[in-house]
A and B are shown apart, each in its own frame.
Chain A
Amino acid sequence: GAVVSQHPSWVICKSGTSVKIECRSLDFQATTMFWYRQFPKQSLMLMATSNEGSKATYEQGVEKDKFLINHASLTLSTLTVTSAHPEDSSFYICSAPRLRRGTNNEQFFGPGTRLTVL
Protein backbone atom coordinates (compact mmCIF):
# COMPACT_ATOMS: atom_id res chain seq x y z
CA GLY A 1 0.00 0.00 0.00
CA ALA A 2 0.89 3.63 -0.14
CA VAL A 3 3.41 4.88 2.39
CA VAL A 4 3.77 8.26 4.00
CA SER A 5 6.82 9.01 6.06
CA GLN A 6 7.54 11.69 8.61
CA HIS A 7 10.81 12.99 9.93
CA PRO A 8 11.78 13.27 12.68
CA SER A 9 9.74 10.76 14.63
CA TRP A 10 10.38 12.66 17.82
CA VAL A 11 12.05 15.93 18.77
CA ILE A 12 12.79 17.72 22.00
CA CYS A 13 13.58 21.40 21.80
CA LYS A 14 13.97 24.45 23.98
CA SER A 15 11.26 27.05 24.22
CA GLY A 16 11.67 29.74 21.59
CA THR A 17 13.30 27.58 18.96
CA SER A 18 11.78 26.50 15.65
CA VAL A 19 11.21 22.92 14.61
CA LYS A 20 10.66 21.60 11.10
CA ILE A 21 8.75 18.41 10.44
CA GLU A 22 8.80 16.75 7.03
CA CYS A 23 6.07 14.67 5.47
CA ARG A 24 6.77 12.62 2.36
CA SER A 25 4.61 10.46 0.17
CA LEU A 26 6.96 7.69 -0.87
CA ASP A 27 5.29 5.97 -3.79
CA PHE A 28 2.66 8.38 -5.00
CA GLN A 29 2.26 12.06 -5.68
CA ALA A 30 0.10 14.19 -3.47
CA THR A 31 -0.99 17.66 -4.52
CA THR A 32 -2.65 17.97 -1.14
CA MET A 33 -1.47 16.92 2.27
CA PHE A 34 -3.04 17.45 5.65
CA TRP A 35 -1.49 18.28 8.98
CA TYR A 36 -3.11 17.15 12.23
CA ARG A 37 -2.20 17.37 15.85
CA GLN A 38 -3.32 15.09 18.61
CA PHE A 39 -3.27 15.77 22.32
CA PRO A 40 -3.31 12.81 24.73
CA LYS A 41 -6.62 10.95 24.66
CA GLN A 42 -8.05 13.44 22.19
CA SER A 43 -9.07 13.27 18.59
CA LEU A 44 -6.92 14.18 15.63
CA MET A 45 -7.54 17.85 14.97
CA LEU A 46 -6.96 19.14 11.47
CA MET A 47 -4.60 22.10 11.53
CA ALA A 48 -4.17 22.92 7.86
CA THR A 49 -4.35 21.72 4.31
CA SER A 50 -1.08 21.87 2.44
CA ASN A 51 -1.41 22.59 -1.28
CA GLU A 52 1.43 22.00 -3.71
CA GLY A 53 2.46 25.22 -5.37
CA SER A 54 0.12 27.46 -3.41
CA LYS A 55 -0.58 28.70 0.08
CA ALA A 56 -1.79 26.40 2.78
CA THR A 57 -5.32 26.63 4.07
CA TYR A 58 -5.52 26.88 7.83
CA GLU A 59 -8.35 25.79 10.09
CA GLN A 60 -9.99 28.28 12.36
CA GLY A 61 -7.92 29.02 15.42
CA VAL A 62 -4.62 27.85 13.94
CA GLU A 63 -2.01 30.59 13.71
CA LYS A 64 -0.54 30.60 10.22
CA ASP A 65 2.48 32.61 11.31
CA LYS A 66 3.28 30.09 13.98
CA PHE A 67 2.74 26.94 11.96
CA LEU A 68 4.42 27.54 8.63
CA ILE A 69 3.59 25.08 5.89
CA ASN A 70 5.49 24.63 2.66
CA HIS A 71 4.46 22.15 -0.02
CA ALA A 72 7.42 22.49 -2.35
CA SER A 73 6.94 19.35 -4.40
CA LEU A 74 4.35 16.68 -5.11
CA THR A 75 5.90 14.39 -2.53
CA LEU A 76 6.99 16.72 0.26
CA SER A 77 5.26 19.01 2.70
CA THR A 78 6.92 20.60 5.70
CA LEU A 79 5.46 22.01 8.88
CA THR A 80 7.61 24.44 10.84
CA VAL A 81 6.60 25.26 14.38
CA THR A 82 8.12 28.67 14.95
CA SER A 83 9.12 29.97 18.35
CA ALA A 84 7.85 26.81 19.97
CA HIS A 85 6.44 26.92 23.48
CA PRO A 86 5.54 24.12 25.90
CA GLU A 87 1.88 24.33 24.92
CA ASP A 88 2.91 23.35 21.38
CA SER A 89 4.04 19.97 22.68
CA SER A 90 1.88 17.45 20.89
CA PHE A 91 1.80 14.61 18.42
CA TYR A 92 1.81 15.95 14.87
CA ILE A 93 0.60 13.71 12.07
CA CYS A 94 0.44 14.31 8.35
CA SER A 95 -1.67 12.55 5.79
CA ALA A 96 -1.81 12.40 2.03
CA PRO A 97 -4.80 11.32 -0.03
CA ARG A 98 -4.31 9.03 -2.98
CA LEU A 99 -6.89 8.54 -5.66
CA ARG A 100 -7.92 5.00 -6.34
CA ARG A 101 -10.00 3.87 -9.28
CA GLY A 102 -13.67 3.80 -8.46
CA THR A 103 -13.33 5.01 -4.91
CA ASN A 104 -13.21 8.22 -3.01
CA ASN A 105 -10.18 9.70 -1.40
CA GLU A 106 -8.13 7.27 0.63
CA GLN A 107 -5.81 9.01 3.00
CA PHE A 108 -2.58 7.54 4.21
CA PHE A 109 -1.10 8.77 7.42
CA GLY A 110 2.46 9.23 8.44
CA PRO A 111 3.74 7.67 11.65
CA GLY A 112 3.59 10.98 13.48
CA THR A 113 6.12 13.25 15.17
CA ARG A 114 6.20 13.67 18.91
CA LEU A 115 7.23 17.24 19.75
CA THR A 116 8.23 18.10 23.29
CA VAL A 117 9.07 21.71 24.05
CA LEU A 118 10.94 22.28 27.29
Chain B
Amino acid sequence: DQQVKQNSPSLSVQEGRISILNCDYTNSMFDYFLWYKKYPAEGPTFLISISSIKDKNEDGRFTVFLNKSAKHLSLHIVPSQPGDSAVYFCAASPYGANSKLTFGKGITLSVRP
Protein backbone atom coordinates (compact mmCIF):
# COMPACT_ATOMS: atom_id res chain seq x y z
CA ASP B 1 0.00 0.00 0.00
CA GLN B 2 1.53 3.24 -1.14
CA GLN B 3 1.41 5.80 1.63
CA VAL B 4 2.79 8.65 -0.46
CA LYS B 5 1.37 9.02 -3.93
CA GLN B 6 2.52 11.09 -6.85
CA ASN B 7 -0.07 10.14 -9.39
CA SER B 8 1.28 12.05 -12.36
CA PRO B 9 4.48 10.48 -13.63
CA SER B 10 5.50 13.48 -15.70
CA LEU B 11 4.87 17.17 -16.29
CA SER B 12 5.99 19.45 -19.09
CA VAL B 13 5.85 23.24 -18.81
CA GLN B 14 7.12 26.22 -20.74
CA GLU B 15 10.05 28.19 -19.36
CA GLY B 16 8.83 31.11 -17.28
CA ARG B 17 5.51 29.48 -16.42
CA ILE B 18 4.50 27.89 -13.15
CA SER B 19 5.13 24.21 -12.42
CA ILE B 20 2.75 22.58 -9.96
CA LEU B 21 3.72 19.18 -8.65
CA ASN B 22 1.17 17.32 -6.57
CA CYS B 23 1.48 14.75 -3.82
CA ASP B 24 -1.08 12.90 -1.71
CA TYR B 25 -0.58 10.83 1.41
CA THR B 26 -2.67 8.40 3.40
CA ASN B 27 -0.89 8.01 6.73
CA SER B 28 -2.32 10.35 9.35
CA MET B 29 0.85 10.00 11.41
CA PHE B 30 2.86 11.91 8.82
CA ASP B 31 3.69 15.28 10.20
CA TYR B 32 6.59 16.48 8.15
CA PHE B 33 6.87 16.67 4.40
CA LEU B 34 9.79 17.23 2.09
CA TRP B 35 10.47 17.69 -1.58
CA TYR B 36 13.63 16.38 -3.19
CA LYS B 37 15.04 16.91 -6.65
CA LYS B 38 16.96 14.12 -8.30
CA TYR B 39 19.04 13.77 -11.43
CA PRO B 40 19.80 10.34 -12.93
CA ALA B 41 22.56 8.42 -11.16
CA GLU B 42 22.74 10.98 -8.36
CA GLY B 43 21.35 11.13 -4.86
CA PRO B 44 18.31 13.31 -4.11
CA THR B 45 18.90 16.93 -3.22
CA PHE B 46 16.74 18.55 -0.57
CA LEU B 47 14.57 21.38 -1.88
CA ILE B 48 12.04 22.47 0.67
CA SER B 49 10.04 21.11 3.57
CA ILE B 50 6.95 21.88 5.59
CA SER B 51 5.66 20.73 8.93
CA SER B 52 2.01 20.12 9.63
CA ILE B 53 1.68 23.23 11.76
CA LYS B 54 2.03 25.31 8.62
CA ASP B 55 0.10 25.41 5.38
CA LYS B 56 2.69 27.19 3.32
CA ASN B 57 6.45 27.50 3.15
CA GLU B 58 8.31 29.58 0.62
CA ASP B 59 11.95 29.59 -0.43
CA GLY B 60 12.81 31.66 -3.47
CA ARG B 61 11.10 30.23 -6.52
CA PHE B 62 9.83 27.23 -4.57
CA THR B 63 6.67 27.19 -2.49
CA VAL B 64 5.12 24.18 -0.82
CA PHE B 65 1.47 24.16 0.17
CA LEU B 66 -0.01 21.69 2.63
CA ASN B 67 -3.70 20.86 2.96
CA LYS B 68 -3.75 18.58 5.94
CA SER B 69 -7.48 17.89 5.85
CA ALA B 70 -7.17 16.68 2.27
CA LYS B 71 -3.83 14.98 2.93
CA HIS B 72 -2.45 16.81 -0.05
CA LEU B 73 0.59 18.90 -0.71
CA SER B 74 1.95 20.62 -3.75
CA LEU B 75 5.19 22.16 -4.87
CA HIS B 76 5.02 25.32 -6.96
CA ILE B 77 7.99 26.45 -8.97
CA VAL B 78 7.73 29.89 -10.47
CA PRO B 79 9.14 30.92 -12.79
CA SER B 80 10.18 27.53 -14.11
CA GLN B 81 13.63 27.28 -15.66
CA PRO B 82 15.15 24.63 -17.94
CA GLY B 83 17.57 23.74 -15.14
CA ASP B 84 14.59 22.66 -13.06
CA SER B 85 14.13 19.65 -15.34
CA ALA B 86 14.59 16.63 -13.09
CA VAL B 87 12.65 14.06 -11.09
CA TYR B 88 10.93 15.46 -8.03
CA PHE B 89 10.15 13.23 -5.08
CA CYS B 90 7.69 13.98 -2.34
CA ALA B 91 8.56 12.42 1.01
CA ALA B 92 6.88 12.27 4.40
CA SER B 93 7.72 11.24 7.93
CA PRO B 94 6.23 11.26 11.39
CA TYR B 95 7.52 14.18 13.43
CA GLY B 96 10.76 13.73 15.24
CA ALA B 97 14.44 13.58 14.59
CA ASN B 98 15.81 10.64 12.71
CA SER B 99 12.40 9.64 11.42
CA LYS B 100 12.55 7.52 8.31
CA LEU B 101 11.14 8.93 5.12
CA THR B 102 8.51 7.42 2.91
CA PHE B 103 8.87 8.49 -0.70
CA GLY B 104 6.46 8.83 -3.57
CA LYS B 105 7.36 7.47 -6.99
CA GLY B 106 8.47 10.82 -8.29
CA ILE B 107 7.41 13.17 -11.06
CA THR B 108 9.59 13.90 -14.05
CA LEU B 109 9.47 17.63 -14.77
CA SER B 110 10.54 18.92 -18.15
CA VAL B 111 10.83 22.66 -18.63
CA ARG B 112 10.85 23.62 -22.29
CA PRO B 113 13.00 26.61 -23.32
Chain A contacts to B: CB under 8 angstroms: 4, 6, 31-32, 34, 36, 42-46, 49, 91, 93, 95, 97, 99, 103-112, 114
Contact = CB atoms under 8 A, between A and B. Distances in A.
Contact of A46 (B36, B89, B95, B100): B100
Interface stretch (B13-21, B38-46, B77-85): B38-46
- The CB with the most chain A CB atoms within 10 A, among B32, B42, B44, is that of B44
9 contacts: A4-B43, A43-B105, A97-B99, A104-B97, A104-B99, A107-B101, A109-B36, A110-B43, A111-B43
Contact of B44 (A97, A103, A109): A109
A104 B32 contact: yes
Contact residue range for chain B?
Answer: 20 to 34
A69 to B, nearest CB: 14
Interface of B: 31-32, 34, 36, 41-46, 49, 51, 89, 93, 95-106
Contacts of A111: 42-43
Contacts, number: 66
B97 A99 contact: yes
Contact of A43 (B32, B89, B95): B89
Contact of A49 (B49, B100, B102): B100
